[in-house]
Amino acid sequence: MQNSFNKQMPVIISTLIFLFLLAACECAVFLLFLTPSVVAKTNTIRMLKSFVFFAAFAPLLIFCVNIEPSKSADPEANYKTLCSGCHGEQMQAFVDRRWKYGNGKEDLFTSIKVGYTDGGMPGFAAALSDAEITALADYILTGIENVKRYDFAKNKETPSSFKTKAMDIRVELVAENVGVPWSLAFLPDGDMLITDRGGKFYRRTKNGDLLTIAGAPEVLAEGQGGLMEVILHPDYNKNKVIYLSYSAFKQEGNRTLATTAIMRAKLDVNQLSDQKVIFEALPYSRTRHHYGGKMVFDKEGYLFFSIGERGNEKENPQNLGNHLGKIHRIKDDGSIPNDNPFVKTAGAMPSIWSYGHRNPQGLAIDPKTGAIWSNEHGPRGGDEVNLVEKGKNYGWPVISYGINYNGTTFTNKTAQEGMEQPKLYWVPSIAPSGMAFVQGNRYKAWEGDALVGSLRFNYLNRCNIEGSTIPDEEIMLENVGRMRDVRMAPDGYIYIAVENPGRVYKLIPN
């Protein structure tokens, strides 16, 4: 009651002043008519004008004295107002950072209240009460706790089996000593193709033999580059055609430049022939990362593939005049479909299907709907799963749920008109790689869901797909290794490829 009364005092006082001035105005008007002297009338008019002036500004006085500092008792609102400009709107900087001043509740309280000016952290004692600081510290702790869901350190060994919400799964090793297995593809006879990012190309026979395939393209196996995706032509049974994405390179003076390229070739047991480069992303770049390189055919026989922005986020993803930071669509021979969204846009690359991407490392077609889904790496936080649609802009780097690797922010926007929102995003980053939709009856409880591998936290992620939404997800197969690819094979089983060491596993429901 006392606090409520104290808050009302400025209004009460200001209202009394206003009433007093109105009464003074009425008296001045009364005197004006009774005073015969011209001088007296003039003085009375001046006095009346003063009263009117102050009476007019009395409501403003009432408003001003009752204003309190713009803050909220809601810790989330206070975080967005006071903290998000430096630390990210979704607490990305708090998730997996190195803590100079400690990350316990008392440490956070002190940091918020007192600050560390030498470290660029202001204190907010004047803006927030101790109770509000405590609530804000608790809110930040929820973000810090989020990274602990990926703490699988208790078990360092690759599991031979694992339990999920719906079933138990046995893990069977089917291939090893394959370097960094970037991609898997399955031949009609039961053999498996495996690309090694280092440049080797393998055929694993159904008997378990590992054959090296000759004729693969020469690659620049540096950084994130090398031999990447392998997929079959939709009519492989007839034409024996496969496609390989890889990091192509060329010399320009004393510099080696690289890009993402796609080769089409015929496969005869362990030999490639009729090799032809059907796509070459322009421009070439000096960087050695963010190649993209994922490929998938849709039901109409068009080839979709991802190209990363090559680390040049300021110029490439939003620029339709180059191939970088985009998902593309071409015919099986490399020619351009005439209904691509930017075919008639002056200066645009005609193969572009969507743009504003960072580094898509998963690409898959939903077999039920035909929709194209992708996952892509964010920076620090902000990895995404997107429903890829014709001509749409996916926002990078104008909008993002991530921050720079050094903890600074590069944008304060997570949404903007004309830019698509992800269907799911991860903070902290899990480094998603590979993508496959579950089909068939072997994993009935997962049918229609999307599987994504995690390079950073070494696990398999199940995204529950409902139409065009992802209402929940499940962490599975902890500690399996840096998961590079996940595939549904024609035999109805799920296969995964992991690196360090390079192995391929088969997931068998018990």
Residue 324 shares a structural domain with residue 410: yes
205-250 confidence digits (pLDDT tens)? 999 999 999 999 999 999 999 999 999 999 999 999 999 999 999 9
458-509 confidence digits (pLDDT tens)? 999 999 999 999 999 999 999 999 999 999 999 999 999 999 899 999 999 9
- The answer to whether position 17 is within a domain reads yes
Residue 117 shares a structural domain with residue 222: no
Active-site residue flag, 233: no
* pLDDT tops 50 at residue 376: yes
CA neighbours closer than 13 Å in the CB half-sphere of residue 375: 28
Catalytic residue among 87, 233, 290, 377: 290
269-281 confidence digits (pLDDT tens)? 999 999 999 999 9
20-54 confidence digits (pLDDT tens)? 655 555 555 455 455 555 445 555 555 555 545 45
100 band by pLDDT with thresholds 50, 70 and 90: confident
Residue 7 shares a structural domain with residue 103: no
pLDDT for res 510: 85
When the pLDDT of each residue in the chain is averaged and rounded to a whole number, the result is: 87
The residue segments making up the domain with residue 30 are 2-65
**Token match 């089996």: residue?**
161
pLDDT for res 24: 59
Decide: 461 and 475 in contact? Cβ < 8 Å: yes
Q: Which residues pair with 116 in a beta bridge?
A: 121
Residue 322 shares a structural domain with residue 183: yes
- The answer to whether position 70 is within a domain reads no
Tokens describing residue 369: 């709907």
Residue 79 shares a structural domain with residue 61: no
Which residue, of 39, 65, 91, is where some domain finishes?
65
CA-wise closest residue to 377 among 322, 412, 426: 426
- The answer to whether position 304 is within a domain reads yes
- The answer to whether position 153 is within a domain reads no
Which residue, of 65, 83, 103, is where some domain finishes?
65
- The answer to whether position 462 is within a domain reads yes
- The answer to whether position 156 is within a domain reads no
Tokens describing residue 16: 């009394």
Decide: 202 and 187 in contact? Cβ < 8 Å: no
Q: Rounded CA gap, 167 and 169, in Å? A: 7
Sequence-separated (6 or more) residues with CB below 8 Å from residue 374: 294, 306, 327, 357, 360, 362, 363, 364, 385, 386, 388, 435
Residue 280 shares a structural domain with residue 365: yes
89 burial type by CB count under 10 A (0-12 exposed, 13-18 middle, 19+ buried): buried
- The answer to whether position 316 is within a domain reads yes
Residue 356 shares a structural domain with residue 479: yes
Higher pLDDT, 408 or 294: 294
Residue 304 shares a structural domain with residue 378: yes
Q: Rounded CA gap, 45 and 29, in Å? A: 8
Tokens describing residue 64: 């001003």
Residue 321 shares a structural domain with residue 442: yes
Tokens describing residue 436: 């496959």
Tokens describing residue 343: 């075919």
- The answer to whether position 477 is within a domain reads yes
Three-state secondary-structure class, residue 58: helix
Residue 268 shares a structural domain with residue 133: no
User: Which CATH number characterizes residue 308's domain?
Assistant: 2.120.10.30
How many separate domains does the chain show?
3
454 burial type by CB count under 10 A (0-12 exposed, 13-18 middle, 19+ buried): buried
Residue 420 shares a structural domain with residue 323: yes
Residue 39 shares a structural domain with residue 174: no
User: Which CATH number characterizes residue 81's domain?
Assistant: 1.10.760.10
Decide: 294 and 307 in contact? Cβ < 8 Å: no
Q: Rounded CA gap, 432 and 160, in Å? A: 23
Decide: 197 and 227 in contact? Cβ < 8 Å: yes
The strand order across the sheet containing 326-330 reads 292-297, 303-307, 326-330, 352-355
Which residue, of 65, 96, 112, is where some domain finishes?
65
